[in-house]
Structure 1
Amino acid sequence: MPKMIQLAHSPDADDIFMYFAIKFGWVDTKDYEFTNIGLDIETLNVEAMKGTYDVSAISFGMYPLIKEEYALLRTAVSFGEGYGPKLIRRKDKKLKRNFKVALSGKYTTNAMLFRIYYPDARPVYMDFLEIEEAVVSGKVDAGVLIHESILDFDESLEVEKEIWDIWVELAGKDLPLPLGGMAIRRSLPLNRAIDIENILIDGVKVANEKKEELCAKLEKDNLVRISSDMLKKYLDMYASDESVELSQLQLKALDTLYKIGFEHGLWDTPIKTEDYLIPKEYKALRNS
């Protein structure tokens, strides 16, 4: 009897890419059967706070709020390297201190960094697919674009500030910008959590190894919102060999993110990321 695991991810191209090698049967899932749920990242953040899904994509910036209920996984991670979400405005618009801004969700990493940097701005939260039009139409003064929308937006708009530049100013170091990853419910037995993490690691590895084939299949089956050329460009940014397993540099970046959040009063205690991962010592002992 297969063990059913709910795996929730966003409909964003890099999430789909990193999961669908499993969906297409290219990875040995042992005695597990994964049911995938596709929801926008802010909905996933909110559902994670309710403990809804066994495994879920989340924004790194909200993880401290669920650290007691979920462990962080080492795989399917997205970081920016000199790029990331963009604060955009109309070219004919000058922003005041208390400008009205559209954000993709209260708990996203970009919203965390934005609110620290622009404390007087007035956020309005909406689906990320609606942000560009809200700025073009003047419903808001500016908006933060995420996902594929950073690659191509209306010619009447221009970038006011890169979230990458905010990150560099706040972090004080040249570290990759942590954006999103995966979390697993702590109520699952540890041996099961280890199995699931390893299966997901294999899935991201296989996806990268078969990138051309997988991209063609995703586009053919209408599983992504963008064309093949733009898909490859986007995946090179957010779903690559750097997404397979957290590196020491990425861990340092996460520790820095959580230090910034602690110093700005977003959570009560400092957090060291390594303490919230599935312990590798147990994996080694189990496999010895």
Structure 2
Amino acid sequence: MKKTLIAHSPDADDIFMYYAIKFGWVDMGGVKFENIAEDIQTLNEKALKGVYEIVAISFALYPHIREDYAPLRTAVSFGNGYGPKVIKKKGAKLKRNFKVALSGEHTTNAMLFRIAYPDARVTYMNFLEIEDAVLDGKVDAGVLIHESILTYNSELEVEREMWDIWQELAGKELPLPLGGMAISRSIPLNKAIEYEETLTKAVHVAREHKHKLSEMLLERNLVRIDAPTLDKYLELYANDDSITLSDIQYSAINKLFEIGYKHGFYDSPIKAEDFMIPAEYKSLRNS
């Protein structure tokens, strides 16, 4: 059997959306799936180098890898009224050039933050280290992502919601595009379509069996949070809107790319639809 490695982040939503495959609830004929979990910036950097065939990425990275990867329509995470948080110590006043910790240069939150706070002094670190860096005074503020937005220390407070920054930059209310999956263009088209179908089914099955799958993840210590927090977190980032991209989600991704191009992060404007796997190829090929 062909071994196919899927690289995703260690946060609970990615684990949840993949593990219907890991537990054998979904499979693909002739393929044995394996997985590896790495922090999102590491995944972004490896996508830039073309290391993995199927990899989780920040949406803000995609224009940089468009020639080598196609975005998948499934396993997507958006914020809708919520998202990453700019946090600081309670009562702290931030100067114009405050020092801030971000989770990686190519993350969506980093791009939006840098646009909103051009004078901030940015340092990058693993997302798991950001909260302690603020508490220890190594930085004045940090942007929390993943489960940390629900579990941060009571000595900290929110300076600003990334959702609010996004709405101001977008100029209208759109879901905040955070992360998704990308597949290498080196994979034959018919096989790439099959991979996308399988991963879509995995997210769909995970949602159908959310409570059972969550129990299994908790029993095996595969997530870093408790049951109530996991339930809440999955409704934020691995919900029914994660199964396949909707029209409004396409609009949001395109607005993100437009904003990034306007502020000099990309070399040309692009539309997400122009780079997707042409799923219609399968039916045309078999007609």
Normalising TM by the smaller chain, what interval?
A: over 0.9
Q: Helix, strand or coil: the match of 1:269? A: coil
Q: Helix, strand or coil: the match of 1:151? A: helix
Say whether residues 1:63 and 2:62 are aligned partners. Answer: yes
What is the rounded CA distance, in whole Å, between the counterparts of 1:286 and 1:204 in structure 2? 26
What is the rounded CA distance, in whole Å, between the counterparts of 1:45 and 1:113 in structure 2? 16
What is the rounded CA distance, in whole Å, between the counterparts of 2:9 and 2:42 in structure 1? 9
- Equivalent residue letter for 1:129: L
Equivalent residues of 1:8, 1:38 under 8 A apart: yes
In structure 2, do the counterparts of structure 1 residues 171 and 216 end up closer, same or farther at CA, with 3 Å as the change threshold? same
1:153-172 to 2 correspondence within 5 Å? 153-172=152-171
- Equivalent residue letter for 1:283: K
TM-score (norm 1): 0.98
The offset of 1:283, in angstroms, is 2.9
Say whether residues 1:125 and 2:124 are aligned partners. Answer: yes
User: Structure 1: which 5+ residue stretches go unaligned?
Assistant: none
Q: Helix, strand or coil: the match of 1:144? A: strand
The offset of 1:77, in angstroms, is 0.1
What is the rounded CA distance, in whole Å, between the counterparts of 2:105 and 2:267 in structure 1? 18
Name the counterpart of 1:183. Answer: 182
Following superposition, which runs of at least 4 residues in structure 1 exceed 3 angstroms of deviation?
none
Q: Helix, strand or coil: the match of 2:153? A: coil
Q: Helix, strand or coil: the match of 1:107? A: coil
Name the counterpart of 2:248. Answer: 249
Name the counterpart of 1:83. Answer: 82
Name the counterpart of 2:277. Answer: 278
Name the counterpart of 1:53. Answer: 52
Q: Helix, strand or coil: the match of 1:179? A: strand
The offset of 1:286, in angstroms, is 3.2
What is the rounded CA distance, in whole Å, between the counterparts of 1:282 and 1:24 in structure 2? 30
Equivalent residues of 1:22, 1:29 under 8 A apart: no
- Count of residues paired in the alignment: 287
User: Structure 2: which 5+ residue stretches go unaligned?
Assistant: none
The offset of 1:137, in angstroms, is 1.3
Deviations 1:133-169, CA, capped at 9 Å, x for gaps: 1111111000000000000211111100100000000
Equivalent residues of 1:78, 1:179 under 8 A apart: yes
What is the rounded CA distance, in whole Å, between the counterparts of 1:227 and 1:285 in structure 2? 47
What is the rounded CA distance, in whole Å, between the counterparts of 1:221 and 1:107 in structure 2? 31
The offset of 1:31, in angstroms, is 1.3
Equivalent residues of 1:134, 1:140 under 8 A apart: yes
The offset of 1:32, in angstroms, is 1.1
Deviations 1:185-206, CA, capped at 9 Å, x for gaps: 0001001100100000000000
The offset of 1:284, in angstroms, is 2.9
What is the rounded CA distance, in whole Å, between the counterparts of 1:51 and 1:92 in structure 2? 44
The offset of 1:249, in angstroms, is 0.4
Deviations 1:106-148, CA, capped at 9 Å, x for gaps: 1100001000110110111111111111111111000000000
What is the rounded CA distance, in whole Å, between the counterparts of 2:155 and 2:233 in structure 1? 23
Name the counterpart of 1:98. Answer: 97
1:6-17 to 2 correspondence within 5 Å? 6-17=5-16
Name the counterpart of 1:33. Answer: 32
The offset of 1:18, in angstroms, is 0.1
Equivalent residues of 1:88, 1:145 under 8 A apart: yes
What is the rounded CA distance, in whole Å, between the counterparts of 1:204 and 1:287 in structure 2? 26
- Equivalent residue letter for 2:56: A
In structure 2, do the counterparts of structure 1 residues 268 and 146 end up closer, same or farther at CA, with 3 Å as the change threshold? same
What is the rounded CA distance, in whole Å, between the counterparts of 1:131 and 1:28 in structure 2? 37
The offset of 1:287, in angstroms, is 4.7
TM-score (norm 2): 0.99
Tell me which moved more, 23-32 or 11-20. Answer: 23-32
The offset of 1:232, in angstroms, is 0.6
The offset of 1:30, in angstroms, is 1.4
Q: Helix, strand or coil: the match of 2:56? A: strand
Q: Helix, strand or coil: the match of 1:188? A: coil
Equivalent residues of 1:88, 1:157 under 8 A apart: yes
Report percent identity of matched pairs.
64
RMSD of aligned Cα (Å): 0.8
What is the rounded CA distance, in whole Å, between the counterparts of 2:54 and 2:149 in structure 1? 27
- Equivalent residue letter for 1:41: I
Deviations 1:35-78, CA, capped at 9 Å, x for gaps: 10110111000000000001000000111111101000000000
1:131-142 to 2 correspondence within 5 Å? 131-142=130-141
Equivalent residues of 1:100, 1:121 under 8 A apart: yes
The offset of 1:29, in angstroms, is 1.5
Say whether residues 1:259 and 2:250 are aligned partners. Answer: no
Q: Helix, strand or coil: the match of 2:217? A: helix
- Equivalent residue letter for 1:198: E
